Structure 1
Amino acid sequence: MQSQFYKTFTRPVAKVLLVAVFTYQLIYWSWVKLDTEETKAQADGKASNEPYSNDSAGDAETYTATIAGLEAKVDEYKKKALEAAETKSS
């Protein structure tokens, strides 16, 4: 009984496992490549200082500056929205 199962399903199960391992390796390789590129860009100073980056060297001043910049953008968008609303209501 078990021998019939293995004769029938060995090849499909092996194929599925092989494809799964290949897919995992492809995704892992892509992730490592992207992470390496990001690390190089940060080392060159070309990358933006993202608040959620995985940078252990990031300090509070950098995050504070980033937050201040984002808050300034929000205020600018609010002013534009108020001006647009006032223009429409007039």
Structure 2
Amino acid sequence: NDVLAHKTTVEAVNKAGSDLIDSSAGEEARGLQNKLENLNQRWRTILEKTEQRRQLLDSALLQTWQPSGISEAERFLKWRYD
């Protein structure tokens, strides 16, 4: 999915941020740590919302194919996420 394509970027920013924090002192390090924590919280929120929307779309898809096409819908979802 398109959101997960950004995972490596977030990981790289975390690594660079951690390195900067390690080489910084006092208030500067705390400020960087706060920014990094904020970034990670926002990333987790994006992942949660993406999963919620995926589940809603899957549910809507299954409802549109009920009752006679459930097995076909299930095959499609299995193909889509495997």
TM-score by length of 1: 0.45
* Rg comparison, structure with higher value: 1
TM-score by length of 2: 0.48
Larger RCO (CA within 8 A; separation ≥ 6): 2
